[in-house]
Amino acid sequence: MKFENKIIWITGASSGIGKALAIELSKYNCKLILSSRREEELQDVKRNCSKPENVEVLTLDLADYLNMKPIAESAIKRFGKVDILINNGGISQRSPIIETSIEVDKKLMEIDYLGTIALSKALLPHFVTNTSGHYVVVSSLMGKFSSHYRSAYCGAKHALHGFFDALRLEHDKDNIKVTIICPGFVNTNVARNALTADGTQQGYQDEMTENGLDVDVFVSKMIKAIRKEKFEAYIGKFEKFGVFVKRLSPRLIHKLVMRSKVR
C-alpha cells in the first residue's frame, strides 16, 4: 500500500505516537485529519506538519461513543472521503485489581474499546460503499498477554483484537483491511497519563516506559507495517517476544512476567 494521494484520519493525534505519526506521514503526498479532545494541541501538530494546508483538525472525545456518526460524516466531508482510519486514541491504567474502582474499568472500556469500535463502525458504510478502506488499530502487547497493574487496560486491548479480527473476516469481501499494531514500551507520556485506582492520573513516568523505544523509531516501524498491510505487528524491544512465548507456553510467560520489574 502507498500513502500517496490517501486521506488518513488519526485519532489521539495531539501527543505521543499520534503526534509523531502525523508529522511523519505529512512528508508523504497525502492528506491528514487529526483528532483528539484538545484542539489547541492539534493545531500545534498541524503547524509542525510538512504541508499544513493538507491537514484538517477535527476534535472528538472517544468517551462520547454514542455520537460518532456525525463525527465520521464530518471527517468524510473534509476531503470527500477517508481511506485509512488510524485508531490511536486511548488511555492506560496502573493500579492493583483489588484497589481499582469499577468506574476505572468502565472508563477504560468506554474510551479504549467502545469509542474505538463506535468510530470504526460509523465509518464502515463509507468503506463498504467505496469497496476500499484500511483500519489501523493501536492495541498493545498487553492485548496479547497481560501484566501486573494493567487489568482494565489489558481487558480493553484484548477486546479490540476480538472485534477487529471479526471485522476483517466479515468485510474481506469488501476489500477492507485491518492492521493491529501492538506496541511494547514506547517513551511517551502514556504512563504519566495512566489512571490509578481512583481514576486520577498517575502523574509520573515509569522506568520501563522511559527506557522504551524512541517514539520516532516506533513510528517508522509502524508505518512499514501499515504499508505491508500486516494483520498484526509487534513493535518493541525484548518484550515483544512475550507474544511468541505466550503461544508456546502460557505458564512460561506467566513466570517471566512475574519475575519482571513492571510497575
Q: What's the rounded Cα separation, in Å, for the pair 247 and 235?
A: 17
CA atoms within 13 A on the CB side of 148: 10
Residue 94 is placed in which grid cell?
496502573
Pure H helices in the chain: 16-25, 39-48, 68-79, 102-108, 116-130, 151-170, 207-210, 215-227, 242-248, 250-259
Q: What are phi and psi of 35, to 5 degrees?
A: -130, 145
Residue among 71, 158, 173 nearest 121 (CA): 71
- R_g of the chain computed on alpha carbons: 18
Which is it for the CA torsion 154, 160, 163, 166, positive or negative?
A: negative
CA distance 62 to 115: 4
d(CA 176, CA 190): 30
Catalytic residue among 28, 113, 153, 234: 153
Catalytic-residue membership of 153: yes
Residues noted as catalytic: 153
